[in-house]
Amino acid sequence: MILKICGITNQEDAEAALAAGANAIGFNFYRRSPRHIPPERAAAISTAPGVRRVGVFVNESPARVEAVARMAALDVAQLHGDERPEDFPISLAVWKALRIGGGALPAGLEDLPAEALLLDGLASGRTFDWRLAAAAKVRVILAGGLDASNVAEAVAVAHPWGVDACSRIESAPGRKDHKKMSEFLQAARAALGA
């Protein structure tokens, strides 16, 4: 099960996330994000053995993703753009992110060469209809508007492989509120039975 805290920009927040039970840490390499971190700075943030280091990318070439992955010691590329399977890097796991509005999930998701789908709301910090995630026939990581107040319900509805929180557990973009983060991870761990 994945318990991920995304948008980590400093060592203090990474240590607090790990102490609270996170087993995946996300670094955002999208330059237009308020949580953007240069690869060199991400590389300097240490994590414990076994914690998955995830890089968030938007429409980067596979060569660029792989170069950043080597520099920042990433385990997973979380792709948030229009990447097609032929654009996926081959040297690390891929979590393909999809923004979900209404309706149904796109067809053919089970054919993607990805370890998991990360399903996110249409806008940062917004939830979506979690019943759509429950219908997926692949591993799903829920994101978008999750915090301690709703993660148990989201897990009960969607039965995901993991959960991911970012903006709803911050004191400011790129700065985590350690109390909110700990409460989210405690609630998520209980809901997932982890």
Mean pLDDT, each 10-residue run in order, the chain (194 residues): 97 98 98 96 95 97 97 97 93 94 81 94 80 90 95 96 96 96 97 82
Residue 111: what residue type? D
Q: Does 166 qualify as catalytic in the annotation?
A: no
CA distance 72 to 55: 8
Catalytic residue among 13, 120, 147, 164: 120
Both structure tokens of 68: 């950043």
Under 8 Å between Cβ of 53 and 32? no
Under 8 Å between Cβ of 91 and 113? no
Both structure tokens of 141: 């990581």
pLDDT at 146: 96
Tally of helices (H runs) and strands (E runs) in the chain: 6, 10
Domain ranges of the chain: 2-192
Round to the nearest angstrom and report the end-to-end CA distance of the chain.
7
pLDDT at 194: 62
CA distance 146 to 152: 10
- Topology, domain 2-192: TIM Barrel (3.20.20)
Catalytic residue among 6, 147, 164, 166: 6
Q: Does 6 qualify as catalytic in the annotation?
A: yes
Query: Buried b / exposed e across 61-88, counting CB within 10 Å, b at 16+?
Result: ebeebbebbeebebbbbbbbeebeeeeb
